Amino acid sequence: MKRRFFLTQAAAGATVVTHAQTPAAPANTPLVITPPVVMAPRADGAEIVWGVSRHCRGWVEVKSGDETRRMGGTDFGFSTQGDKALRVRLEGLVAGTKSAYRTVTEAMGEPAGREESAWREFRTLDAAAAETRFAVWNDTHVNNATIAQLHAKTPAEVDFLLWNGDICNDWHKDETLVPTLLHPAGTDFTAQRPLAFVWGNHDLRGAFGYRLPDYVAAPDGRSYFAFRSGPVAVVCLNTGEDKADDHPSFKGRVACEPLRQEQAAWLREHVLETPELRDAPYRVVFCHIPLRWIDENEEGRTYDSFSARSRALWHDALVQWGAQVVISGHMHEHAWMDASKEFPYAQLVGGGPKPEAATFIEAHANGERLQLITRDLGGKVLHQNEFNPLAAI
């Protein structure tokens, strides 16, 4: 389904919801209500986030070799606790190695309770690895049929899964955050593939959009970040909303333009100056709204089909960095645009939320080439693109 029709239909069925505080869960409700989700993979760790039914504290036990460590707690002297989700940052692990972990959750107050997850495994990223594999989803918009098929068909043994924005339609109900983010379509989607999350414009929307940072982890605690996985340097940017900040529909809730400017400075000061990123053989950018589109005539559109505001601020730094491809979503139709003299980076766009329009991308990079394969849910190859390694800047 194309994006304009999807949004028109969604708006036609919209209702106004009066919010009230979510009632406490019954005493016999399990403490833990989602699987542990592995987010924001790094060379030295990741973050584990899991949903809870009432006020709990928790920690993560990690086995590395013969050593078991307990991780959790805050910089302010509190145990890790919450009434909707718990989140623990794992640190001090070795790059490119598997660690076993489990979550431990205890009720705060009465009635008492304690739950331990099964032991699970995840692997840290490794910048020195000879190859890497990753997968990409986008624009699922709480379509459970699509999410279930993406989970079933996307290879499990990848170094990371990049969810490229618009995981939701909006956040008008506080109680939708945890199941949508941590247990989408009832899947244990990070059991084998850690999640890197890129924000989409819909992920900012609704009265409770400001709560998203409570549940979505990023390597440096920001909605934009960069990392290295094998020969691929990855830059993840937040294109923000698809309208101006002062658009009346946002009711003053967004401030995307300062964020775009902040990212422009970060590209120059961090990405261009960090050898691990600057000199990688392959350089890939993820952002939800494309930086280019097939038809850039915006007259008559009620939304941005490409992020002109972002491109104006970021283009020169991305060209200087040597970005080879920008991978996006947003338009609900898959597309490929070759690099050109004006735009030295190619643009790849994934499909839409309904099963017949959904896509997933499989990527593999080694010393010879970076290959991106875009497939529909039936397995048909829609785009197959390859890139040669770059020389260091």
Q: What is the pTM of this model?
A: 0.92
**Alpha-carbon distances, residue 97 vs 44, 71, 109, 160 (angstroms):** 9, 18, 38, 14
Domains of the chain: 37-123 (2.60.40.10), 125-387 (3.60.21.10)
**Which is it for the CA torsion 355, 158, 40, 264, positive or negative?**
negative
CA–CA separation, 196 vs 327, rounded Å? 14
Instruction: HSE, CB side, 13 Å, CA atoms: give it for residue 187.
Output: 23
- Is the separation of the CB atoms in 90 and 45 below 8 Å? yes
| Distance, CA of 119 to chain centre | 24
Helix axes 256-266, 308-321, angle to 10 degrees: 10
Residue 323: CB atoms within 10 A of its CB come to: 25
Both tokens assigned to 127: 């910048």
Q: What local confidence, expressed as pLDDT, does residue 3 receive?
A: 53
- Is the separation of the CB atoms in 127 and 276 below 8 Å? yes
CA–CA separation, 153 vs 243, rounded Å? 34
3-state secondary structure 175-244: HHHHHHHHCHHHCCCCCCCCEEEECCCHHHCCCCHHHHHHCCCCCCCCCCEEEEECCEEEEEECCCCCCC
CA–CA separation, 203 vs 211, rounded Å? 10
Residue with tokens 């993406």: 150
- Is the separation of the CB atoms in 240 and 259 below 8 Å? yes
Both tokens assigned to 114: 């304690």
At residue 125, the 3 state secondary structure works out as coil
pLDDT in tens, the chain (393 residues): 455 544 444 444 443 333 344 456 666 789 999 999 999 999 999 999 999 999 999 999 999 878 899 999 999 999 999 999 999 999 999 999 999 999 999 999 888 899 999 999 999 999 999 999 999 999 999 999 999 999 999 999 999 999 999 999 999 999 999 999 999 999 999 999 999 999 999 999 999 999 999 999 999 999 999 999 999 999 999 999 999 999 999 999 999 999 999 999 999 999 999 999 999 999 999 999 999 999 999 888 999 999 999 999 999 999 999 999 999 999 999 999 999 999 999 999 999 999 999 999 999 999 999 999 999 999 999 999 999 999 987
